[in-house]
Amino acid sequence: GENVEQHPSTLSVQEGDSAVIKCTYSDSASNYFPWYKQELGKGPQLIIDIRSNVGEKKDQRIAVTLNKTAKHFSLHITETQPEDSAVYFCAASPSGGYQKVTFGTGTKLQVIP
């Protein structure tokens, strides 16, 4: 089955700096890679996703990159703000998410004002 590894487990950055979270996956059949943000006391919410036919996707201060050959994908947050502080999960799934979604172990991001 799929195995998704996520690093780092905790990340502290100064407000305004960039944050990068990295994930690797094992199953070459995976073609859909969502990222979720979980704020304190809430469930995870999808913030951005990428399909395997795209190498990069950007949405305002958030970007994801995918290297299919190396089976790596990353989340980049630029100009971090205190409200970016949360736990972030990467995930991988075959068939656009219709089959099982495997989550990474989570990264706790703290943005220091």
Summarize as ranges the residues that interact with other proteins (CB under 8 A). 9, 32, 34, 36, 38, 41-46, 49, 51, 87, 89, 93, 95-98, 100-101, 103, 105-106, 108
**Residues 6+ positions from 71 with CB-CB distance below 8 Å:** 24, 25, 26, 28
CB of 24 to other proteins, least distance (A): 16
Sign of the torsion angle spanned by Cα atoms 22, 23, 24, 30:
negative
Q: Beta strands 72-77 and 62-67: pairing type?
A: antiparallel
What is the smallest separation between the CB atom of 33 and other proteins, expressed in angstroms?
11
Nearer to other proteins, 1 or 113 (CB): 1
